[in-house]
Amino acid sequence: MTSVETPATTAGVAGVKTTPRIHKYMDGVTKVEGSDLHIKADVVPRIRKGGKLMMTTGMPLTNEDIEAMIQEILTPEQLALFMQRGSLDVAHAVTPTERFRLNIFRQRGMISIAARRINPKIPNFSQLHLPPVFEKIAENEQGMVLLAGITGSGKSTTIAAMLEQVNTRRACHIVTVEDPIEYLYVDKKAYINQREVGVDVESYDSAIRYLMREDPDVILIGEMRDRNTFQAGVQATETGHMVYSTIHASSALGAITRILELFPPDMHTNMRQALASNIKAIIYQKLVVSIKPGLERVPVVEVLLSSPAMRKYIVEGRENELGQVIRSEKAAGMIDFNDKLAELVEQEVISHKEAQLASPNAEELKMRMKGIKTF
């Protein structure tokens, strides 16, 4: 898919610029401080707020209405790509600071739009309700940090907070490769270049290929999506760079499994060694509905840090035992997912019901809440 930044206005009759119709709905998302906008034919558009979808006011949109909307915000080249592929990623600016990440796609022969609002301000770890160990992780100057989780789990925001810490503390060169660009950084101590796939570079592969020629110190690769991307990230760490990236996985263990699946079995020994040598932290993150007033959702995290035991277990193919490593090395900053859920329940931040729904092992969590350890 191709990602592009689209203009906030479009030429109307006789060259007069008009406001795209989709802005009315985007303004609604901003007004209610929602996270997402969903538009599809013959249905009233929805806004996601606090993890839940709610209907907007007004009438359902026809497929023709939606087609007209995308024609207002896409260039002819972008529109042609969408018609050819049936899906297109774009970054659209409503104002210089209010931006959305859109996926335009076909379903049942009609057009749908999923738009994610990008927070114009980069929050810090405290504002994100993340534990202090995240500040320590962001102090690393060489190696790899992976953020794991499903779409919409806050991975990009957490990485943005890490990069912003680097930006405020280190005189270094940060290069990001994103599809599309989400957060816009302002140079502070760091010097930052952001490359968007489809706008600044043709493809992820092209961007990765020339990264080392751009003299970076810190690199953000938006997503570890294939073998070439991961190999490029490993090569960067081995030559003294700090690499941040995301991966779709449901645990720290799942992230390791997902990476190994990118390679044939005969390469797994080398990949295990590369992971053990270069990974500084694997963080799994999930957003859970909060019961605390003024806080809609809170991140629940699992944190696996580099340690002799962690490296040993990965090299030996014993990653299924890494949960024991996390629980036995909590003093070093490692965090067990169920322990974090239990902590948030005890602090009355989330409900026991939500914790049970979020837990990968609800029975173990239930026993832990009663003070019974299962290890």
DSSP annotation string for 229-257: HHHHHHHHHHTT-EEEEEE--SSHHHHHH
Report residue 151 CA to chain centroid gap. 7
pTM above 0.85, yes or no: no
User: Out of 14-18, 181-185, 326-330, which region has the weakest mean confidence (pLDDT)?
Assistant: 14-18
Give 97's pLDDT tier (boundaries 50, 70, 90): confident
User: Out of 95-109, 275-289, 358-372, which region has the weakest mean confidence (pLDDT)?
Assistant: 358-372
- For domain 133-335, give its CATH number from 3.90.180.10, 3.40.50.300, 1.10.3720.10, 3.30.1380.20: 3.40.50.300
* pLDDT over 90 at 180, yes or no: no
Cβ-contact 34, 47 below 8 angstroms? yes
At 292, list the tokens. Answer: 């605390």
Nearest to 168 by CA among 157, 176, 180, 160: 160
Give 149's pLDDT tier (boundaries 50, 70, 90): very high
At 148, list the tokens. Answer: 């794991």
* pLDDT over 80 at 130, yes or no: yes
* pLDDT over 50 at 1, yes or no: no
Q: Which pLDDT score, from 0 to 100, does residue 225 have?
A: 86
Write phi, then psi, for 320 (nearest 5 degrees): -65, -10
Burial zone of 370 (CB within 10 Å; 0-12 exposed, 13-18 middle, 19+ buried): exposed
Cβ-contact 119, 33 below 8 angstroms? no
Nearest to 312 by CA among 252, 350, 272, 267: 272
* pLDDT over 70 at 9, yes or no: no
Judged by phi (left if over 0) then psi (alpha if -120 to 50, else beta), residue 371 lies in left
Strand 218-221, strand 279-289: pairing: unpaired
Report residue 289 CA to chain centroid gap. 18
What does the mean pLDDT of the chain come to? 91
Rounded Cα gap, residues 108 and 156, in angstroms: 30
Q: Which pLDDT score, from 0 to 100, does residue 87 have?
A: 92
| SS3 category, 118 | strand
Q: Domain coordinates of the chain in residue numbers?
A: 3-118, 133-335
pLDDT tens by residue, 117-127 = 987 789 999 99
- Which carries the bigger pLDDT value, residue 14 or residue 19? 19
Q: Which helix (H) or strand (E) holds 366?
A: helix 362-369
The CATH class of the 3-118 domain is alpha beta
Mean pLDDT of 299-319: 97
Which residue shows structure tokens 């953000």?
A: 220
Q: Which pLDDT score, from 0 to 100, does residue 328 have?
A: 95
Cβ-contact 4, 202 below 8 angstroms? no
Rounded Cα gap, residues 288 and 355, in angstroms: 8
Mean pLDDT of 245-250: 94
Sign of the CA dihedral 75, 81, 86, 91? Answer: negative
Write phi, then psi, for 350 (nearest 5 degrees): -130, 160
pLDDT tens by residue, 39-78 = 999 999 999 998 889 999 889 999 999 999 999 999 898 8
Rounded Cα gap, residues 315 and 198, in angstroms: 38
Mean pLDDT of 226-246: 93
Q: Which pLDDT score, from 0 to 100, does residue 294 have?
A: 87
* pLDDT over 90 at 18, yes or no: no
